[in-house]
Amino acid sequence: MITLTSAQEQIVADKLTTGQYASAEEVIDLALELLQFLDAEYLAWSKETQQKILVGIEELERKEGVNGAMVMEQLLQRFQDAR
């Protein structure tokens, strides 16, 4: 058995009053499905980001990185040109 807090019960009640959901179980089922989806999306994003970081590190080790000072100078110049 799961016990909801009063705030959680209010959320479920608010969802039920919209008429979009037939029962509290439906609201909770959908919330859990959304949580699973978000967790999967986050995991995929995290793996992709880790891979990009590894690629970036390898590029830096091969001296293929971008000079930060040069990038900032170019951005500043673009900003000044746009004014």
Query: Which residue shows structure tokens 């091969």?
Result: 62
pLDDT at residue 67, as a whole number: 81
Using CA atoms, how far apart are residues 18 and 26, in angstroms rounded to an integer?
Answer: 13
pTM of this structure:
0.66
pLDDT digits (tens, 9 = 90+) for 10-69: 999 999 999 999 999 999 999 999 999 999 999 999 999 999 999 999 999 998 888 888
pLDDT at residue 54, as a whole number: 97
pLDDT at residue 31, as a whole number: 98
Every domain of the chain and the residues it spans: 6-82
Tokens of 31: 């919330």
